[in-house]
Amino acid sequence: MIRRHLGPRAGQAAFIAAFLIVSCGAALTASADQWSKSYPVSGKPDVWVSNGDGSVRIDVWDEPRIEARIDTIGYVIDKDFKIIESQSGNQVRIETKFAHQNWSFNLGRRSLTLTLKVPRVVNLDIHTGDGSMTVAGPKGDLRFHTGDGTIDARGLDGSVKASTGDGSLNVEGRFDLLDLHTGDGSIEAAAKAGSTITGPWSVRTGDGSVALRVPTTLKANIDARTGDGRITLDLPVAVSGNVRPTRILGTLNGGGGSLILRSGDGAIRLGQY
């Protein structure tokens, strides 16, 4: 019988291979965890959320309460992160807080999703460090921010501020105030009939296209500029000053509130809803 003795390097390689096989097996069966809680409210509640490293989904309903649920894959609640939540009257706060350093070896998919069901009339202040947001139907003072991810928000009504460090924005609703910003990505926004510019509207991207559709009755002072791209107006804007492909100043329906459109590198289109 011939016996082969493994050298130090061969032994290390064998150990790493075995470790990877075990790790891959564990990854394929990544644990799932869940948390949920109900908050009774009345009138117009205020909801503040900070989801440290995950996505957020918000839907509305006619119930006088807020339902919050967290679903995870690959994360364990109270081990990988803490849930800090509280209620004071109509004010609800929910935060998922990760440790500053979480050194763990993981080959599988990890995800954390926070789902909210809220009354239609509500004030929202929603943040996530890294994840997408999907929102449908709320009315009120609405603020959304993600450090890295897309924001898709439809059926909104009220004052809206939405921003992402890196990702696209797709927003639709009836607006009194509109403030949209992305560091890198396109923006598509549609303002429904009844929208008014009660405060300055601003739609800005560092790198990407901007497309905004507004009602034909909207009164606005328009300031559109792009660093590299063309500006297209599909509405009867009365242009003032010199017309340039990358900058247009003008008024819509005799002028009104300020409407600012900006792109560092991309086309701008203002059209009819």
SS3 189: strand
| pLDDT tens column, 125-158 | 999 999 999 999 999 999 999 999 999 999 999 9
Residue 11 has pLDDT above 70, yes or no: no
Please state the rounded mean pLDDT for residues 240-257: 92
Specify the range with the lowest mean pLDDT, choosing from 47-56, 103-112, 113-122, 191-200. Answer: 103-112
Whole-angstrom distance, CA of residue 202 vs CA of residue 181: 8
What mean pLDDT is reported for the chain? 89
Residue 5 has pLDDT above 80, yes or no: no
Query: Which residues make Cβ contacts (< 8 Å) with residue 1, sequence separation at least 6?
Result: none
173 and 189 Cβ atoms separated by less than 8 Å? no
Percentage with pLDDT > 70 across the chain: 86
213 and 224 Cβ atoms separated by less than 8 Å? no
Query: Which residues make Cβ contacts (< 8 Å) with residue 89, sequence separation at least 6?
Result: none
State the pLDDT at residue 103. Answer: 47
* pLDDT bucket at 244, cuts 50 / 70 / 90: confident
Q: Which residue has the tokens 């004010």?
A: 91
Please state the rounded mean pLDDT for residues 212-222: 97
Strand 65-73 to 32-40 pairing: antiparallel
Whole-angstrom distance, CA of residue 136 vs CA of residue 256: 29
State the pLDDT at residue 53. Answer: 84
92 and 48 Cβ atoms separated by less than 8 Å? yes
| pLDDT tens column, 28-47 | 456 899 999 999 999 999 99
State the pLDDT at residue 30. Answer: 62
Query: Which residues make Cβ contacts (< 8 Å) with residue 5, sequence separation at least 6?
Result: none
Continuous H helices in the chain: 8-28
What tokens appear for 23 in the block?
A: 């790790």
Say which DSSP state 192 is in: P
State the pLDDT at residue 107. Answer: 55
Query: Which residues make Cβ contacts (< 8 Å) with residue 99, sequence separation at least 6?
Result: 80, 81
